[in-house]
Structures are given as structure tokens and as C-alpha cells.
């Protein structure tokens, strides 16, 4: 397989590269398609290359011995997946699966490493990407360590709401069970927590469609790390 469109070379990773290089990468990349839920790689698999999400999304997560999962991050179009394994050369340190119907470009490890050594611009782009990722992971650690579920949920909803351009109603991209994994909690707890926010007048839940009547209220929960009291007469 080959010939990915410009989706690949428009990605941040290839920003500011000479057009000739971009054309070269378009030629070299192969394409892969995943159905929702399909596994891209599993922790421990030997890494042979780098993926770039073209459309859809890829969820990267850790799995506990007893099957619970913690999502590290969900990567969207333009974002590379599997860089760590590619750089440190060994196995993937986590699992990845399609969060939606997804297409990916695949770049072979040896060739990409060689290109990194020859193109400082490419290296700088990847460095910036990794730096952003580290900041992100540091925030996940902070959240897990300091914030209770209500605050993690509020933060997640606000971020999604802003990412979708502050629509009047926010639509969840997946099931609530998946959201629970993202937040590092159990579905039952998520359900109860949504109930609390709803009773506090901060959220309206109707299936996967959510209304955020009071974004500022949500934000103050995020700041505080907790939902203070359960107001209900």
C-alpha cells in the first residue's frame, strides 16, 4: 500500500519541511485502516515504526492485571502515535486501539530515524510534540493525584466543549463506559458523579448529549479539585 494524501504531510510533524521531503514521505508512507475498537498494538509488542493519525482517533491506554484500563490520551488527526517505542527502540510501552473508525499512515522505523538525523527541522518538530506530550502526562498525573472524579469530569467536559467550539450541547464521542476509563474511574462512579453535577445545576444529561448550563461553575470545581457540597433543598 502507499499514497496517502496530503493529510500526512499537513500534520504538525512535517511542518516547515521542504516540499520535496514532504512528497517523499507521502510516497514512503503506507496506509492502514482500523474499525472502532480494533487494536493497533499491544503493550510489549515489538515496535517497527511510527503511526500518524490521518482521520478518526487512537486511544492509548494501560491495562491493569485485572483488566481495568487507564487511558493515557486519545490522539487525533495529525498526531503521531508510537514515537516512544520507535525512539527507545524496543517494545510499545502501552496499548493502542481505534477510538473511532480510523485511518493511519505508517512510517518505517529505520527510515524515519535516518531522516531525523538528516533533518533538524523534523527533529525539532518531533521534540516539540514530545514536550507537549510530557506536559499532558504531567497533567494526568496531577489530576489522578489531586482531583476527585467530579473535578476530573468537569475538566474533561470543559475541554471537550471548548474543543468543539462551545456548542450549546456537547455530544460524547463514545460510551459513558469509555469516558469512565478516560477519567480513571468505574462506570458506576461516573454515573453517580454526573448525577451530582446535575443536581448541582451544572450539567444536563440526556443520553450522550450534554448541556453545560454553567461553565464557570464547572471551572471552579476544576480549580478546587472537588465538588464542595451537594446543594439540594
Site of interaction with DNA (CB under 7 A): 66, 68, 148-150, 175-177, 184-195, 205, 207-208
188 binds a second copy per the rule CB under 8 A: no
Q: Which listed option, a second copy, DNA, none, makes contact with residue 175 (CB within 5 to 8 Å by class)?
A: DNA
96 forms beta bridges with 41, 60
For a second copy, which stretch binds (CB under 8 A), given 18-26, 144-152, 167-175, 210-218? 144-152
Out of a second copy, DNA, none, what residue 101 binds, judged by CB under 5 to 8 A for its kind, is none
Task: Report the alpha-carbon distance of residue 105 to residue 168 in Å, rounded.
Answer: 34
Element of type H or E holding 30:
strand 30-34
Q: 110 or 127, CB closer to a second copy?
A: 127
Cα 152 to Cα 147: distance, rounded to the nearest angstrom: 6
CA 129 from chain centre, in angstroms, equals 13
The full length of the chain comes to: 233
Q: Distance (Å, rounded) from C-alpha 200 to C-alpha 226?
A: 13
The sign one gets for the Cα dihedral 162, 165, 168, 174 is: negative
- If one asks whether residue 110 binds a second copy (CB under 8 A), the answer comes out as no
18 interacts with a second copy by CB under 8 A: no
**Contact residues for a second copy, defined by CB under 8 A:** 62, 64-66, 68, 70, 72, 83-84, 87-88, 93-94, 116-121, 123-124, 126-128, 130-135, 137-142, 144-146, 184, 223-225
Amino acid at each position: 500500500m502507499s499514497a496517502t494524501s496530503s493529510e500526512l504531510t499537513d500534520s504538525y510533524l512535517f511542518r516547515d519541511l521542504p516540499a520535496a521531503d514532504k512528497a517523499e514521505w507521502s510516497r514512503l508512507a503506507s496506509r492502514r485502516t482500523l474499525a472502532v475498537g480494533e487494536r493497533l498494538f499491544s503493550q510489549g509488542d515489538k515496535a517497527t515504526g511510527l503511526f500518524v493519525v490521518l482521520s478518526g482517533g487512537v486511544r492509548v491506554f494501560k491495562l491493569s492485571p485485572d483488566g481495568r484500563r487507564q487511558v493515557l490520551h486519545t490522539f487525533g488527526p495529525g498526531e503521531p502515535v508510537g514515537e516512544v517505542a520507535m525512539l527507545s527502540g524496543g517494545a510499545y510501552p502501552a496499548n493502542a486501539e481505534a477510538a473511532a473508525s480510523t485511518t493511519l499512515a505508517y512510517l518505517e522505523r529505520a527510515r524515519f530515524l535516518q531522516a531525523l538525523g538528516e533533518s533538524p527541522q523534523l527533529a525539532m518538530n518531533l521534540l516539540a510534540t514530545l514536550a507537549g506530550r510530557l506536559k499532558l502526562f504531567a497533567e494526568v498525573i496531577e489530576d489522578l493525584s489531586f482531583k476527585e472524579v467530579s473535578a476530573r469530569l468537569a475538566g474533561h467536559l470543559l475541554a471537550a466543549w471548548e474543543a468543539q467550539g462551545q456548542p450549546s450541547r456537547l455530544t460524547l464521542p463514545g460510551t459513558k463506559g469509555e469516558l469512565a476509563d478516560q477519567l480513571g474511574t468505574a462506570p458506576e462512579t461516573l454515573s453517580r458523579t454526573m448525577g451530582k453535577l446535575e443536581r448541582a445545576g451544572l450539567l444536563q444529561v440526556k443520553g450522550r448529549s450534554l448541556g453545560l448550563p454553567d461553565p464557570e461553575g464547572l471551572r471552579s470545581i476544576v480549580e478546587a479539585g472537588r465538588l464542595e457540597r451537594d446543594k439540594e433543598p
